[in-house]
Amino acid sequence: MQSDVKNSSATTSEASPAAPSTVANETMREALMGRLRRGDIGQLPAVLMLLVIVVVFEILSGGVFLHPINLSNLILQEADVAVIALAAVLTLLLAEIDLSLAAVAYLCGAVTVITSTYHHWPAVWALVAGLVAGLIVGTINGVLVAVLRIPSFVVTLAGYIFYSGLLLHLELPNTTITLFDPSLKAIMSNYVTFPWDVISPIPIIVIYGALLLLERQRRMKAGLSSGPLWAIWLKLGAVVVFLVAALLVFEDALGVPYAMYIVFGVLIVFWLLLRFTTFGRHVYAVGGNPEAARRAGINVTMIRISVFALGSMLAGLGGILVTSRTTSAPTAVDPRLLLLAIAVAVIGGVSLFGGRGSVWGVVLGVLIIGCLENGLTLFSSASSDFEQMLEGAVLIAAVILDAITRRRNAVSGR
Specify if 383 maps to a domain.
no
Q: Please report, for the domain that includes residue 60, its CATH number.
A: 1.10.3470
Boundary residue ending a domain (220, 253, 286): 253
Same domain, 124 and 213: no
Q: Which long-range contacts (CB under 8 A, 24 or more apart) does 40-47 make?
A: 40/405, 40/408, 40/409, 42/349, 43/348, 43/349, 43/361, 43/364, 45/397, 45/401, 46/347, 46/348, 46/349, 46/361, 46/364, 46/365, 46/368, 46/398, 47/364
* Beta carbons within 10 angstroms of residue 151's beta carbon: 12
Residue 41 has a pLDDT of: 56
Same domain, 141 and 82: yes
Helix, strand, coil: what percent of the chain each, to 5?
75, 0, 20
Residue, of 410 and 297, whose pLDDT is higher: 297
Specify if 21 maps to a domain.
no
Residue 239 has a pLDDT of: 84
pLDDT one-digit tens code per residue, 21-50: 444 455 555 554 555 555 455 677 778 888
Q: How many residues does the chain have?
A: 414
Burial code (b: 16+ CB inside 10 Å, e: under 16) for 264-286 equals bebbeebbeebeeeeebebbbbb
Q: Within its chain, how far is the Cα of 56 from the centroid?
A: 25
Same domain, 248 and 288: no
Q: Which of 208, 228, 234 is nearest to 216 (CA)?
A: 228
Name the helix (H) or strand (E) containing 191: strand 191-192
Same domain, 97 and 172: yes
Q: Residue 361 to residues 86, 244, 307, 351: CA-CA distances in angstroms?
A: 9, 20, 18, 11
Same domain, 130 and 54: yes
Specify if 22 maps to a domain.
no
Residue 19 has a pLDDT of: 46
Same domain, 340 and 363: yes
Specify if 403 maps to a domain.
no
Q: At what angle do helices 335-347 and 384-411 cross, to 10 degrees?
A: 40
Specify if 297 maps to a domain.
yes
Specify if 396 maps to a domain.
no
The count of C-alpha atoms lying within 13 angstroms of the C-alpha of 165, restricted to the half-sphere facing its C-beta, is 5
Same domain, 75 and 179: yes
Residue 24 has a pLDDT of: 46
Q: Quickly state the pLDDT bin for 8 (edges 50, 70, 90).
A: very low
DSSP string, 34-73: HHHHHT--TTHHHHHHHHHHHHHHHHHTTT-TT-HHHHHH
Q: Residue 224 to residues 177, 216, 227, 232: CA-CA distances in angstroms?
A: 56, 9, 9, 16
Domain holding 115, by residue range, is: 43-191+259-377
Q: Which of 205, 207, 213 is nearest to 232 (CA)?
A: 213
Residue 20 has a pLDDT of: 47
Same domain, 278 and 135: yes
Number of domains in the chain: 2
Residues 6+ apart with CB under 8 A from 78: 366, 369, 370, 373
Q: Calculate the average pLDDT of the chain.
A: 84
pLDDT one-digit tens code per residue, 160-185: 999 999 999 999 999 899 999 999 99
Q: How far is the C-alpha of 98 from the C-alpha of 89, rounded, in Å?
A: 10
Same domain, 201 and 167: no
The answer to whether residue 66 scores a pLDDT higher than 70 is yes
Residue 23 has a pLDDT of: 47
Same domain, 75 and 137: yes
Beta 328-330 vs 256-257: how paired, if at all?
A: unpaired
Q: Quickly state the pLDDT bin for 12 (edges 50, 70, 90).
A: very low
Cβ-contact 142, 299 below 8 angstroms: no
Q: Within its chain, how far is the Cα of 81 from the centroid?
A: 10
Boundary residue ending a domain (235, 253, 271): 253
Cβ-contact 290, 52 below 8 angstroms: no
Same domain, 200 and 287: no
Same domain, 135 and 175: yes
Burial code (b: 16+ CB inside 10 Å, e: under 16) for 32-71 equals eeebeebebeebeebeebbeebbeebeeebeeebeeeebb
Q: Within its chain, how far is the Cα of 331 from the centroid?
A: 27
Specify if 414 maps to a domain.
no
H helical segments located in 289-360:
290-295, 300-326, 335-347
Q: How far is the C-alpha of 276 from the C-alpha of 394, rounded, in Å?
A: 32
Specify if 227 maps to a domain.
yes
Residue 15 has a pLDDT of: 42
Cis peptide, bond prior to residue 173, ω within 30 of zero: yes
Q: Residue 167 to residues 101, 160, 162, 309, 339: CA-CA distances in angstroms?
A: 13, 11, 9, 19, 20
pLDDT one-digit tens code per residue, 236-256: 888 888 888 888 888 888 888
* Beta carbons within 10 angstroms of residue 241's beta carbon: 10
Cβ-contact 342, 89 below 8 angstroms: no
pLDDT one-digit tens code per residue, 112-153: 999 999 999 999 999 999 999 999 999 999 999 999 999 999
